[in-house]
Amino acid sequence: MKLIFLGPPGAGKGTLAARAVDIIGVPHISTGAIFRAAIAAKSSLGLKVKAIIDSGKLVDDGTTIELVKERLTQTDAKKGYILDGFPRTIPQAEALATFSKVERVINFDIPDDTVVERLSGRRVCKGCGANYHVTFQKPKKNGVCDACGGELYTREDDKKEAIQKRLEVYRAQTAPLIDYYRSAGILVDVDARPQVEAVVANFKKAMGV
């Protein structure tokens, strides 16, 4: 099964992808992981990506497309994949269609105010990196990590102003893919508002598994 996961930051795509790997038996492929692997391998594309990232710029469409194309030729992706973070734009989707036929696109449907609540409430341990939430996963002692006793903090990109900016970028660049794939007849909406187990159940129902 060849899938794309669509949804704004905070929709839970990565969390469900980790579960979906076991449910449908295909790898979870994120652009971030592709970039890191290419950089670690010191391939020609990897060196190019490193130079772009080190300069503070975003990796361009052409380079991203080539990296994804290369990744999908690997053995573990022969039976299918879950693409997370790609495509981000209509041109990327059109390019993907030239080298791989996507069978289903899962759209994680969630309102902006729920995203803001989820992300702005996240707290991360400065010591071990453990994640908590002021509402959904509170530490035993306020501001202190249960695991290592480290200080909990709010990441810069989890501050409300940054979240709003990320949502604006998503709505402008990536949300048009929802109509693009819906018109192709392969988009399935999944309610991403409930807790993880309910979203997993919604996903299984949508996939018929």
pLDDT digits (tens, 9 = 90+) for 24-49: 999 999 888 888 888 998 888 889 98
Tell me which of 78, 79, 126, 155 is the catalytic residue.
Answer: 155
Tell me the average pLDDT across 76-86. 93
Tell me which of 2, 13, 71, 118 is the catalytic residue.
Answer: 13
123: annotated active-site residue: no
88: annotated active-site residue: yes
- How do residues 2-16 score in pLDDT, each as one tens digit? 999 999 988 888 888
φ, ψ of residue 186 in degrees (nearest 5): -120, 10
Under DSSP, the state recorded for 172 is: I
- Per-residue pLDDT, 37: 87
Overall pTM surpassing 0.85 (yes/no): no
Q: Count of CB atoms within 10 A of residue 16's CB?
A: 25
Compute the distance between CA of residue 129 and CA of residue 152 in angstroms, rounded to an integer. Answer: 9
What total of structural domains would you count in the chain? 1
Min mean pLDDT across 96-100, 152-156, 185-189, 202-206 is at: 202-206
Tell me which of 19, 104, 166, 182 is the catalytic residue.
Answer: 166
CATH number at 197 reads 3.40.50.300
Counting beta carbons within 10 angstroms of the beta carbon of residue 155, is it exposed (0 to 12), middle (13 to 18) or buried (19 or more)? exposed
155: annotated active-site residue: yes
- Per-residue pLDDT, 33: 85
**pLDDT(58) > 80:** no
**Range of the structural domain that residue 81 is part of:** 2-207
